Structure 1
C-alpha cells in the first residue's frame, strides 16, 4: 500500500466513522475500486479504527475519565459486598452497598450490557464480513439500508432519557444494533444513534452513548485481529503508511464528532440519507461491471 492510498483511506475513515455513512462500506468500495489486496487482511481497518478511537478519547475525555473512575468504584464496591456476604454468613447483619447509584455508574453498566451482544455478533460474523466486503453489491445494498435508518432517525423526536432512565433491555438491543453494523455499508453511528432515539434517549446523550460504546467494540476487534497475525507482518514498511493513515483518521474523526453533535441536535440526517442512497446505488450498479 502506498502512502497516498493510506492517506486517502485514513481521510475516508475519519470522515465516515462518525458521520452516519458507514466507514466500512466506504473502505470496502474504495479497496475494490483501487484494487487493493492487503496481505494483512483486516489489520489496516483495525489500525484506522484505533485512529478514530483516539478521536473519541479526546472528544469525550472528561466523560471517559469519570466512567473509568466509576468503573473502578463499581469493582471496589463489589469486593466490599463480597466481604459483607461472608461476614453475614458468620453471623453479622450488615447492609450491602448499592452498586449502581449514580448516572455515570449506570452509564458504565449500560456500555457493558451493550458490548455483550456486539462482541458475540462481531466474533461469529468475522469471516462473513470479509467475504461480503470483497465486492460492491452488499456494501451498496447496506448503504441504502443505512439511508432508510437515517430517515427514520430524522422522523424520531427522541426523548429525555439520560442514563438513570435507560433500561438494560434498551442497552442490550442497542448493542445488537451495533453488532449488526459490522456489515460493510451499515453505519455504526447511524444505526446506534437511530436506535437510541427510538428508545427515547435525549439527543445529546444518544450521540455520546453511541460513540463511547464503540470503544470496547473497537478494542476487542483489534485484539482479535492482532493475535491472529503473523509476526513478520509487523516488519512490513506498510505499517508506517498505516500509522499515517490512522493519524489522519484521528484528526478528521475528531472534527466529525463535533459535527455530529450539531447534526443530531438539528435533525439534519436527511442529507446523509440522500448521500447513502446515491453511493449505494452507484456501488450496486458498479458491482455489475467490476469483478
Structure 2
C-alpha cells in the first residue's frame, strides 16, 4: 500500500511543482490523509522534488549547460584577477583586470549565485521547524492562505514590468532568494513567492517564471543532501527506500510530460486564479483539521 501512496504523491508533486500552489503543502496534506509520518525527516519530499528537478534539467539542458560553462569561466576569471592583483602589487604595474560579468548568461548565472545565499542560510536555520510544520495539520492550511494573499495582492496591484536579466540588480536577486528561503514551510509556495517578488521588483512575467524555475535547482539539490542522512535511519527500511526511489523516478517521468503545459499555464494564467485555488485549498485543509 505504501508504494501506491508514494506513486500518488509523485503525481501530486509533478503536477503542482510547476505552478504557484505549493507542492510541498499538497504533499504534507496528502501524507496526513495517507497516514505517512516524518520519521525519516523530509527525505521523501526531497526525493520527489529531486525527481521533478530532473524534468527541469531535461527541458532546459541547453541553457543549463551554458550557465554551467559561464559559471566556470567566471570562476577562472576571478582566479586570474587574483593572480593579476598579486602580480601588480609585486611589480608595481597596473595591468587591467578581466571583466567578470559580461553577457546575458553570465549575468543570469551571477543572479542565481547571489539569490542562493539567503536561501541557503534560511534553509539551514529553519530545517527543523520545517519538519515540525510538515507534521502539523494546521500549518499547511495557513501557508496556503498566505500564498493566496500574496498572489492576489500582486495580481490586483498589476505588478510586473519589462525588465529582464540585463536590467536585473543583485539586491533584488537577494530579495527573491529570501522569498525562496521562506518557502521551506508547507503551504507557502516557493514559486509563488519568487514570482511575486520578481514581479513586484518590475521584472517581466516570462523572466520571473524562468528565474524561479532555475533558482529552484540548487535549492532542491541542497535540500536533498541535507536530508540524505535519513537513509541510515532505522525507520528507512529497504522496502521504503526502494519505494521512495521508484516514486522519485515516477515524479521525474510525469514531470517531463507536464512541465511545458504547467509552465505555460503559470506564464499566461492570471495570478488571482492561483490565489483563489490557494484560498480553497487552505480553507479545506483547515476545515479538515478542525473536523478531525
TM-score by length of 1: 0.94
The change in CA–CA distance for 1:15 and 1:205 in structure 2 (over 3 A counts) is: same
Contact 1:174 1:192 (8 Å CA) reproduced: yes
In the other structure, the counterpart of 2:77 is 77
Alignment partners' CA distance in 2, 1:11 and 1:100: 40
Q: Is 197-206 or 31-40 further displaced after alignment?
A: 31-40
Taking a change above 3 Å as real, the CA distance of residues 266 and 228 of structure 1, as seen in their structure-2 partners, is closer
User: Which runs of 5 or more structure 2 residues have no equivalent in the other structure?
Assistant: none
* Map of 1:212 onto structure 2: 214
Quick check: 1:191 aligned with 2:193? yes
**Residue 255 of structure 1, CA deviation:** 4.0
- Secondary structure at 2:291's aligned position in 1? coil
SS of 1:193's partner is helix
Deviations 1:64-114 (A, max 9, x none): 111000000001111111121111112232100000111111111111111
Residue 266 of structure 1 corresponds to: 268
- Decide whether the 8 Å contact of 1:11 with 1:248 is kept in 2: yes
Distance 2:127 2:159 in 1: 34
Match 1:158 to one of 157, 160, 166 = 160
Q: What is the Cα deviation at residue 229 of structure 1?
A: 4.4
Q: SS in structure 1 opposite 2:173?
A: helix
Q: Equivalent residues in 2 for 1:216-255 (5 A)?
A: 216-227=218-229, 229-230=231-232, 236-255=238-257
Aligned length: 290
Query: 1:173-188 counterparts in 2 under 5 A?
Result: 173-188=175-190
Secondary structure at the counterpart of residue 135 of structure 2: coil
Deviations 1:112-140 (A, max 9, x none): 11111111111111111111221221100
Residue by residue, what CA displacement relative to the aligned partner does 1:30-83 show, whole Å, maximum 9, x if unpaired?
111111125422111111011011011012112111100000000111111112
- 2:13 is matched with 13
> Does 2:49 correspond to 1:22?
no
Distance (whole Å) between structure 1 residues aligned to residue 4 and residue 230 of structure 2:
27
CA distance in 2, matches of 1:144, 1:172: 25
Q: Is the 8 A contact 2:161 2:203 kept in 1?
A: yes
- Per-residue CA deviations over 1:126-169 (Å, capped at 9, x if unaligned) read 11111122122110011011112222343334212111211111
CA contact (8 A) 2:160 2:199 kept: yes
User: Counterpart of 1:103?
Assistant: 104
8 Å CA contact retained: 1:158, 1:202: yes
Asked if 2 retains the 8 angstrom alpha-carbon contact of 1:152 and 1:194, the reply is no
Task: Please give the alpha-carbon distance, in whole angstroms, between the structure 2 residues aligned to 1:274 and 1:265.
Answer: 17
Q: How far off its partner does 1:269 sit? A: 2.5
> 2:19 and 2:103 mapped to 1: Cα distance?
30
Q: Secondary structure, in 3 states, of the residue corresponding to 1:200? A: coil
Alignment correspondent of 2:95: 94
Q: Which residue of 1 aligns with 2:129?
A: 128
| TM-score, normalization by structure 2 | 0.93
The alignment yields a C-alpha RMSD, in angstroms, of 1.8
SS in 2 for 1:11: helix
Separation (CA, whole Å) in 2 of partners of 1:48 and 1:279: 21
The gaps in structure 1 that reach 5 residues or longer are: none
Q: Is the 8 A contact 2:144 2:278 kept in 1?
A: yes
